[in-house]
């Protein structure tokens, strides 16, 4: 029998680890392994609350900038990292695409509004457009859509097309969620040997379009600040060379095929992309006008 008096059986609170306040799972570290909530859930001062907010924003920003830098500098790298299982250090592809696309469209709208010069001259309104006498040459559904098109025509004449432009921008973002999967299906046909998963092509396209939005955002800011200089034409040429080389290199790195074979598939993809994008823009404009 132990007579030391120092040893004692642990109480229930000492034997069991603390439980997560959110899901009740046992805590073994700073964060809950089941739901991810931080273990420290007691009430704090305002200073502690602000410090946690700054820490969260700093960590999120660091991961975002690491991802964006790798995205712009290393074509195809993030896609290979994603399928290699190294994902925690980077922003997920779809979230990255949404962030960069939203920043691009919002900033383009703000810059276009801020760069509109004041109008001091009398401009005649387009009263000569006779929306009531519009005719449609469509063989299927032309009569059903004609009333909508007449109403859209009158709305565009009334506000000089501002509502149509906003609707067009919103619908382009939605159309991309149909356009990208279709292009991924085309890439699956181009890369049928050796067989690859459809998701590989889709993630590569998502990363490539996220990079395009990031580069176009920087280009848009640069041209906005340098409107009176002669650097716009060289910047446009540099942008085109960079994007073409980037997209080619992304396919080369991702699929690891020969340069000539990659160039051939890249050329086919560019022609198909431009053709499908033209039809997508026309369809989006038609739908945008018909839904005004």
DSSP string, 270-290: HHHHHHHHHHHHHHHHHHHHH
Q: What is the pLDDT of residues 67-85, one digit of tens each?
A: 999 999 999 999 999 999 9
Structure tokens at 94: 């779809």
**Dist. CA 145–CA 128, nearest whole Å:** 22
Structure tokens at 22: 């959110």
Identify the band that residue 49 occupies on the pLDDT scale cut at 50, 70 and 90.
low
117, containing H or E segment: none
Q: DSSP 3-state helix, strand, coil percentages of the chain (rounded to 5)?
A: 65, 0, 30
- The residue ranking higher by pLDDT, 96 or 38, is 96
Could you tell me which residues come within 8 angstroms of residue 243 by beta carbon, excluding any fewer than 6 positions away?
212, 215
Q: How confident is the model at residue 117 (pLDDT cuts 50, 70, 90)?
A: very low
63 Cα distance to chain centroid:
16
C-alpha span between 102 and 121 (Å, rounded): 35
């Amino acid at each position: 029998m132990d007579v030391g008096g120092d040893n004692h059986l642990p109480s229930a609170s000492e034997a069991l680890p603390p439980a997560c306040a959110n899901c009740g799972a046992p805590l073994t570290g700073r964060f809950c392994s089941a739901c991810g909530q931080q273990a420290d859930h007691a009430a704090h001062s305002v200073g502690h609350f602000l410090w946690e907010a700054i820490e969260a924003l700093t960590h999120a920003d660091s991961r975002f900038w690491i991802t964006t830098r790798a995205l712009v500098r290393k074509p195809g790298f993030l896609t290979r990292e994603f399928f290699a299982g190294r994902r925690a250090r980077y922003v997920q592809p779809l979230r990255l695409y949404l962030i960069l696309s939203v920043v691009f469209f919002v900033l383009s709208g703000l810059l276009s509004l801020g760069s509109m010069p004041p109008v001091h001259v009398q401009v005649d309104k387009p009263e000569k457009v006779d929306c009531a006498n519009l005719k449609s040459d469509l063989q299927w559904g032309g009569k059903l859509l004609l009333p909508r098109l007449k109403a859209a025509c009158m709305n565009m004449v009334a506000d000089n097309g501002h509502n149509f432009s906003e609707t067009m921008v919103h619908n382009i973002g939605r159309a991309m969620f149909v356009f990208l999967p279709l292009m991924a299906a085309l890439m699956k046909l181009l890369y049928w040997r050796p067989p690859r998963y459809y998701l590989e092509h889709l993630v590569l396209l998502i990363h490539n379009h996220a990079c395009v939005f990031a580069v176009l955002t920087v280009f848009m800011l640069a041209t906005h600040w340098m409107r009176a200089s002669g650097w716009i034409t060289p910047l446009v040429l540099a942008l085109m060379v960079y994007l073409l080389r980037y997209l080619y290199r992304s396919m080369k790195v991702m699929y690891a095929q020969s340069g000539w074979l990659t160039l051939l598939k890249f050329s086919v993809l560019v022609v198909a992309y431009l053709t499908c994008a033209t039809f997508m823009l026309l369809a989006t404009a038609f739908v945008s006008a018909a839904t005004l």
